[in-house]
Structure 1
């Protein structure tokens, strides 16, 4: 490792540990603002802060008149896991999702600035893990970003460019029954059995697949029924999260397969999105969602890239981590992407 590489690794590792030292679970993102401000000031950025809610602030950093915008999110999922370095791997909450993305992007900015390039911006948004309030609010920054050619959104994609992302539907399936004493169940109507049968019918339905987005899948996230052990349940509910493909019929199938006492409430319906293929970069389908579909509206022609170091397999787990070699490779990837779109 030469002196330049060693200096970069030291800066990346130290800065990432400082960011991960702060607990910024969704709703308390501002706990990380002091460390983030210091990092951006050290890179000579012009900083704009956009309050979104109490304790939640978007951050836009600008170098010149931006043509390339890097972006990722400031919040993490609970629980907070303090960072620890084990050999060449940094463990802890946010290491890959998404504070590692911050450093991979700012590392590329640092290198581009050293090469005498400007026309760059970096955006950190709040709430990606919950309500995406930050991404929605960030559209109000469009006047500062009129010349954008691309948005490069950072998520752990194993250094591949996402070919797109599936949509998201939250369906609430509800069955109504009639309560009765458990000793006389014939006097009531148990709401849980028709719900379980309904879910089984849904499980038996084949799901489509898309060559660029992957398979349509659904998750039974919450299942509730009854009020007491010795009472026949008068109500039962299942909450499903469906990762949808274009033309999805899942919600219609759920209604078609419903029992007489069943109803379907569609609580969330975010459409799938496809991203352009960039020559010279590896692409792959990704199993997760992001703020990219919202934030791409900041770019006049909506060009967006979703990419970054780390793996979604460890994000949101107690084993979240990022290898330092992958972090450095993320800097290289973001540097190459920026040069492709700066085009000069």
Structure 2
């Protein structure tokens, strides 16, 4: 490792540790400001802060008139896990999702500035892990970004460019019954059994797949029934999160397979999205969602890239981590992407 590479690793590691030491769980994103704002000042950025809610502020940094916009999110999922460096791996909440993305992007900006380049920007948004309020609010910054050629949205993709992302549907399945004493169950109607039968019918459905986006999958996240052990449940509910494909017929199948006492409510429906293939880069389907579909509206022709270091397999887990070599490779990937669009 030469001196310049060692210096960059030291700079990246120290600042990533400082970001990860801030508990910026969704709703508390402003906890990052004491570290993030001095970091952007160090890089000579012009900074615009956009309040989104109490304790929640989007941050836009620009260097010249932006043509390339790097973006990622400031919030993390709970629980907070303080950073610890073990050898060449940094562990902790946000290490790859998404404070590691912040440093991989700002590291690329640092390299671009050293080359004398300008025309780049960086955007940190709040709420990606919950309500995407920051992404929606960020569309109000469009007047400052009229010359954009691309949005590079940072998520842990193992350094591959996403071919797109599946949609998200929150489906609430409910069954109505009639309460009764557990000693006389024949006087009631248990709402649980028809719900469980309904779910089993859904488990038996064939799974759709898309060559660019992967399989359509659903997760039974919440299952609730009854109020007391010695009472027949009068109501039962299941909450499903579907990662949907274009033309998905899953919600209609849920309605079609419902029992007489069942009802369906669609509480969230975000459509799937496809991203352009950029020559010279490796691409792959990704199993997760992001703010990219909303934020790409900032780019006049909607060109977007979803990519970054780290693996989604460890994001949101108690073993979230990022290898320093991957962090440096993320800087290199973002630098290549910036060169591609700045020189286009």
TM, length-normalised to structure 2: 1.00
Q: What residue is the counterpart of 1:95 in the other structure?
A: 95
Q: Work out the CA distance in 2 between the residues paired with 1:2 and 1:279.
A: 30
The Cα of 1:52 is off from its aligned counterpart by 0.1
Aligned to 2:239: 239
Matched residue, 1:194? 194
**1:183 has 2:188 as partner:** no
Alignment of 1:37 onto 2:46: no
Whole-Å separation in 2 of the counterparts to 1:172 and 1:250:
13
- Tell whether 2:287 aligns with 1:290: no
Which residues of 2 match residues 161-310 of structure 1 at below 5 A? 161-310=161-310
Q: How far apart are the structure 2 equivalents of 1:237 and 1:339?
A: 51
SS for the counterpart of 2:231 is coil
Name the SS of the counterpart of 1:296 in structure 2.
helix
Give the deviation of 1:159 after TM superposition. 0.1
Say which SS state the counterpart of residue 286 (structure 1) adopts. Answer: coil
Structure 2: how far apart are the matches of 1:124 and 1:255? 39
Structure 2: distance between partners of 1:176 and 1:249: 25
Residue 33 of structure 1: SS of its match in structure 2?
Answer: helix
TM alignment of 1:313-332, pairs within 5 A: 313-332=313-332
Deviation at 1:207, TM superposition (A): 1.4
- Aligned-residue CA RMSD (Å): 0.4
Structure 1 segments unaligned to the other structure (5+ residues)? none
Q: Which runs of 5+ in 2 are unaligned?
A: none
Separation in 2, partners of 1:101, 1:71: 9
Aligned partners of 2:343 and 2:272: how far apart in 1?
Answer: 29
- TM-score normalised according to structure 1 size: 1.00
Give the whole-Å Cα distance in 2 for the aligned partners of 1:265 and 1:118. 49
Match status 1:119 vs 2:119: yes
After TM superposition, list the pairs within 5 Å mapping 1:327-342 onto structure 2. 327-342=327-342
State the alpha-carbon separation in 1 of the partners of residues 33 and 206 from structure 2: 47
Counterpart-to-counterpart distance in 2, 1:279 and 1:143: 29
Count of matched residue pairs = 344
Q: Take 2:106 and 2:87, find their aligned partners in 1: how far apart are those partners?
A: 23
Structure 1 residues 228-283: Cα deviation after superposition (integer angstroms, max 9, x where no partner): 00000000000000000000001000000000000000000000000000000000
Give 1:31 shift.
0.6
| Regions of 4+ moved over 3 Å | none
Deviations 1:96-121, CA, capped at 9 Å, x for gaps: 00000000000000000000000000
- Rounded Cα–Cα distance in structure 2 between residues aligned with 1:10 and 1:119: 26
Distance in 2 (CA, whole Å) between partners of 1:168 and 1:207 is 16
Deviations 1:168-220 (A, max 9, x none): 00000000000000000000000000000000000000011000000000000
Whole-Å Cα distance in 2 between the matches of residues 116 and 203 of structure 1? 56
| Counterpart-to-counterpart distance in 2, 1:7 and 1:181 | 71
For residue 298 of structure 1, report the CA deviation from its aligned partner.
0.1
